[in-house]
Amino acid sequence: MAKYGPISGFPEWTPGQKMLEQDLIAFIALQFELCGFAPIETRAVEPISVLTNKGDDKEIYLLSRLQDTEKNAEASKEAPEKKESTDKEPLGLHFDLTVPFARYVVEHQHLLSFPFKRYQIQKVWRGERPQEGRYREFYQCDIDVVGAEKLDVSADAEMASVMLKALSGLPIPPVELRINNRKALQGFYKGLGVERLSDALRIVDKLAKIGPEAVGQLLADELKLSAKAVEQILALASLKGGPEVIEQAAALGVKHPLFHEGLSELSQVLELTRSAGPVHVDFSIARGLDYYTGTVYESVLLGHEHIGSICSGGRYDNLAAGGKVPYPGVGASIGLTRLLGYLFGRNLIEVHTKTPVQVMVVLNDLDARAQSFAIADQLRQRGIATDVYHAAQNFKKQLKAIEKRGIPYALFIEENGCSIKTLATGVQESINLDHWLPEKQNSRVRFTCHF
Amino acid sequence: MAKYGPISGFPEWTPGQKMLEQDLIAFIALQFELCGFAPIETRAVEPISVLTNKGDDKEIYLLSRLQDTEKNAEASKEAPEKKESTDKEPLGLHFDLTVPFARYVVEHQHLLSFPFKRYQIQKVWRGERPQEGRYREFYQCDIDVVGAEKLDVSADAEMASVMLKALSGLPIPPVELRINNRKALQGFYKGLGVERLSDALRIVDKLAKIGPEAVGQLLADELKLSAKAVEQILALASLKGGPEVIEQAAALGVKHPLFHEGLSELSQVLELTRSAGPVHVDFSIARGLDYYTGTVYESVLLGHEHIGSICSGGRYDNLAAGGKVPYPGVGASIGLTRLLGYLFGRNLIEVHTKTPVQVMVVLNDLDARAQSFAIADQLRQRGIATDVYHAAQNFKKQLKAIEKRGIPYALFIEENGCSIKTLATGVQESINLDHWLPEKQNSRVRFTCHF
């Protein structure tokens, strides 16, 4: 007997939740396209050498052919050395959409125009050990702009604008986008004489958890920084807000060309995103800064900051080795499954819809099937999802079942036309099939937000 | 250096082709929903015991954690017996959408209302050996209706209607749906005294390849059938067409209750699909008949019959063991990737679109960026995909690059307003940003059908 049940880390939604997820994906894709991003979809697998190219420590699912494995198991009983696979290189499931995108750009560079703007909404897989709250299969919604050789900092601003457009149209709590800049931090730390940047960033990343005092202590103990340097680092990390904090950062008095280049980039991004929504500079952001080379993004749900960033990304110097030229780029990713898993799991979004059906045709008797299907088709042709009840039960029983399925309307075929009963109110009235429309509140996916 | 290149069996489209595929998936999903099917999406993986439950001989991709494998490899050098995985049961990628659907129904049976109508559009994977024309990753578009304990034959007709609605709206050559019925064939063969039904079907399935004479010879040689029985089998298999062929089949004179039950079901399906499109009975269909228990479907692209069925399915008695009651159902599946792979590969569909961008704003100078972004946003808010040129090159160079990307319109910001140049005609005229719309032929995805 096969095992039927959930598998930790592989979430599945109800049909109604899936309908909402579809709508959100379509909305996000539309925003990306309106802003000029072209969709690509890459295969789910890459050769292991591509996945492990950057020395990433992501957990990878390796594939093997079951039939090979079985043959190998048998073969190995007789001759253990015959265990080679027939495929040239083992394949693994992609753990993000950046690595496949990099491969795609290098593979098709002669066909693409640069700057190349792409979006990609696909599932990714991570071979994590089963653990509560860790997803092993999830959707990511990625956008990236890559240039050939160079890419203006205005692309960093565009990234922020596009993500805000996508996020602010979703049925989620208000979002705040926070940015920082690797050059600003690196220059600042260099100006203070701090050499071990990534160690310093790792310590500063603990600010929210252990507070400034403990962070200061660690900086002094582990990195042997002077009291003055520690004070300056903590002062910079406390700056959060609009353009004024960039001035305040400059006023801390640290002199280093990279620091001022970073501040200038932050200013330009703020300037170009002024009308896009809430973009704040936050000099305490340290995560991702040893990977990215310029602007970095994080975003939080206001009132739900504890779940961490729901959309992150940053600027990089070269998307992929193997190109004719370097491909500098900037990208960001919305963790859609993680977001929905939180909202559904805490009942912050409650989906009422169980089926797309808006109108169920009540079946008068078995001989009425052909006529009922024809009437259903008339409504379908006008974009109204319609079904025909499956059995000629008495009307009371049919209506009860229709209501239980959360379908808003029941249609009766009468001698001289049709009538529709609104189940929520019990009101029944004659209708003209060519003109009747469901009310707005009975639209495709019905849900309530509890936030 | 990682290996960047295509992998046999894992097709990838260009951005324009992907846009078309997205549109087709949305269209198919809409047709399914209008007919009352609810979407579900199942995880990509199932425990191996679920995948191999029915003794299917599909090629399965088994997953393992790369990190485990590496650890195991090291561990095995020291202590070969420590090779157990930490996961309880190995997982594999699903090779179709029926097996996961069956698991979903049993797992959630208490939450579902029956008959349950679901659709599912997802990728599936098959661990085939690399081979030209064999896909290892592809989209399937499935619909199924399952009842609890019973399901009326009208569901078989509905399945045919829905599939014709979906297929006839796609930009593909005309489709003909062909149906047969397992009961009709089984009853006919039993009535003739043929016992080895699946052997007989396997031989009859060769009709198109080797012709009636050779099939008759095989039936006589392998199954020791009488000349009369062979003649009758070949006579039935030659019947193709509308309701009249059901009468002709009955007139062959074979008496068996199952035969007449099957013919009656075929009649009902034809009757209820009369207005749906081209549905023909074809008694030569033998494929799938040892798996299905009633109606079976195949469909061909007229003029392209050699690629085989692009949408198949049938009626089954029980979707899954493990339910409270049997779940009889009927389902069908469109092989979307195979279909598009053929149409793109033979250049039967030629996609001209390279990017969703319809309007590119020409950049006057670097200081005009903020203004250019604001104007782009005005068009985007009205649903027109717009981008801003990335560099302040001279106009001639910008226009050439815009044309090369296949973008239909260039927008110029002038002192007293904006003008738009249609690149195909060279015509440039002043526009009102609040009212201008692209022409119909410059819609989102532009493609030509060569069939």
Task: Judge whether A298 is closer than 8 Å to chain B, CB to CB.
Answer: no
Residue of A nearest to B372 (CA): A272
Q: Are B100 and B43 in contact (CB under 8 A)?
A: yes
A-interface mutation test, from B66, B101, B141, most A Cβ less than 10 A away = B66
**pLDDT for res B304:** 96
**pLDDT for res A416:** 92
* C-alpha–C-alpha distance, residues B190 and B187, integer Å: 5
CA–CA min distance B290, chain A (Å):
23
**pLDDT for res B227:** 95
Q: Are A123 and A139 in contact (CB under 8 A)?
A: yes
For residue B248 the two structure tokens come to 């002709």
Q: Record the pTM.
A: 0.94
| Contact between chains at A113 and B357 (C-beta distance less than 8 A) | no
Q: Are B266 and B182 in contact (CB under 8 A)?
A: no
Q: What angle do CA A69, A70, A72 make, to 5 degrees?
A: 60
φ, ψ of residue B139 to 5 degrees: the values are -80, 140
A16: left (phi over 0), alpha (psi -120 to 50) or beta: alpha
- What is the predicted ipTM? 0.94
**pLDDT for res B84:** 41
Q: Are B299 and B82 in contact (CB under 8 A)?
A: no
Beta strands in B307-367, from DSSP E residues, in sequence order: 311-316, 329-334, 349-351, 359-361
Which residues does chain A have with pLDDT short of 70?
Answer: 1-2, 55-57, 69-87, 132-133
Cα torsion B165, B109, B153, B179: sign? positive
Look up residue B92 and give its DSSP letter. E
Tell me the C-alpha to C-alpha distance, in Å, between residue A251 and each of A188, A248, A271, B180.
12, 5, 20, 82
**pLDDT for res B71:** 64
Residue of B nearest to A404 (CA): B113
* C-alpha–C-alpha distance, residues A226 and A398, integer Å: 79
B334: left (phi over 0), alpha (psi -120 to 50) or beta: beta
* C-alpha–C-alpha distance, residues B7 and B166, integer Å: 31
**Parallel, antiparallel, or unpaired: how do β-strands A137-146 and A447-449 relate?**
unpaired
Beta strands in B255-294, from DSSP E residues, in sequence order: 279-282
* Residue B174: other Cβ atoms inside 10 A: 14
Task: Judge whether A35 is closer than 8 Å to chain B, CB to CB.
Answer: yes
**pLDDT for res A130:** 72
Q: Per-residue DSSP letters for A251-279?
A: TT----HHHHHHHHHHHHHHHHTTTTS-E
Of the candidates B391, B403, B360, the one whose C-alpha atom is nearest the C-alpha of residue A151 is B391
CA–CA min distance A234, chain B (Å):
34
Task: Judge whether A60 is closer than 8 Å to chain B, CB to CB.
Answer: yes
Of the candidates A160, A154, A116, the one whose C-alpha atom is nearest the C-alpha of residue A265 is A154
**pLDDT for res B177:** 97
Beta strands in A6-70, from DSSP E residues, in sequence order: 38-39, 45-47, 61-65
One-letter amino acid at A327 equals: Y
| Contact between chains at B64 and A62 (C-beta distance less than 8 A) | yes
| Contact between chains at B390 and A130 (C-beta distance less than 8 A) | no
Tell me the C-alpha to C-alpha distance, in Å, between residue A156 and each of A201, A258, B26, B371.
22, 17, 32, 17
For residue A67 the two structure tokens come to 């039939």
Beginning with the edge strand found earlier in the chain, give each strand of the sheet holding B137-146 in spatial order.
B38-39, B116-125, B137-146, B329-334, B311-316, B295-301, B175-181, B279-282, B240-241
**pLDDT for res B75:** 52
**pLDDT for res B132:** 67
Residue-by-residue pLDDT tens, chain B, 451 positions: 567 899 999 999 999 999 999 999 999 999 999 999 999 999 999 999 999 877 666 799 999 998 776 665 555 454 444 444 445 789 999 999 999 999 999 999 988 999 999 999 999 999 988 776 689 999 999 999 999 999 999 999 999 999 999 999 999 999 999 999 999 999 999 999 998 999 999 999 999 899 999 999 999 999 999 999 999 999 999 999 999 999 999 999 999 999 999 999 999 999 999 988 999 999 999 888 878 999 999 999 999 999 999 999 999 999 888 777 899 999 999 999 999 999 999 999 999 999 999 999 999 999 999 999 999 999 999 999 999 999 999 999 999 999 999 999 999 999 999 999 999 999 999 999 999 999 987 778 999 999 9
**pLDDT for res B320:** 84
Q: Are B160 and B275 in contact (CB under 8 A)?
A: no
Element (H, E) at B125: strand B116-125
For residue A49 the two structure tokens come to 């050498």
| Contact between chains at B152 and A391 (C-beta distance less than 8 A) | yes
Residues in chain B with CB shorter than 8 Å from the CB of A64 are 61-62, 64
**pLDDT for res A446:** 93
**pLDDT for res B440:** 81
